[in-house]
Amino acid sequence: MKDATRTVELHRIKDTDHVDTFLMVYLPKERLLVQADAFTPGPPNGPVPNPPNAGHVNLVQNLDRLKLDVDRILPLHGRMVPRAELTRMVGK
């Protein structure tokens, strides 16, 4: 979807065990990903889970698959974080 100033992309999060119709919203101009339940950041500088959370890994795989240039992630449950926080949580 787009108008004269903004594009809003809806993408399916594939291969998740959460729900078959799982969606995320990407705002390319802002490089912002909005999602719920695929990634909820823990406390700042919190420990990296071992093993990594499967939902977090799945979200990274979907972002890579779609080649989305995400700078920040806005979860609907939690604080906005840089994409690097998600990357750190999956051990990359």
For each of the domains in the chain, give its residue range(s) and CATH number, in order of start.
9-89 (3.60.15.10)
pLDDT, tens digit, 9 for 90 and up, residues 30-75? 999 999 999 999 898 889 999 999 999 999 999 999 999 999 999 9
pLDDT, tens digit, 9 for 90 and up, residues 72-87? 999 999 899 999 999 9
> Average model confidence (pLDDT) for the chain?
94
Rounded to two decimals, the pTM is 0.93
Alpha-carbon distance 86 to 72, whole Å?
10
Residue 78 pairs with which residues in a beta bridge?
none
17 pLDDT above the threshold of 90 = no
Residue 38 gets the label, from left (phi > 0), alpha (psi -120 to 50) or beta, of: alpha
Neighbours of 17 (CB within 10 A): 9
Neighbours of 75 (CB within 10 A): 18
Where do the DSSP E strands lie in the chain?
9-12, 23-27, 32-35, 72-75, 81-82
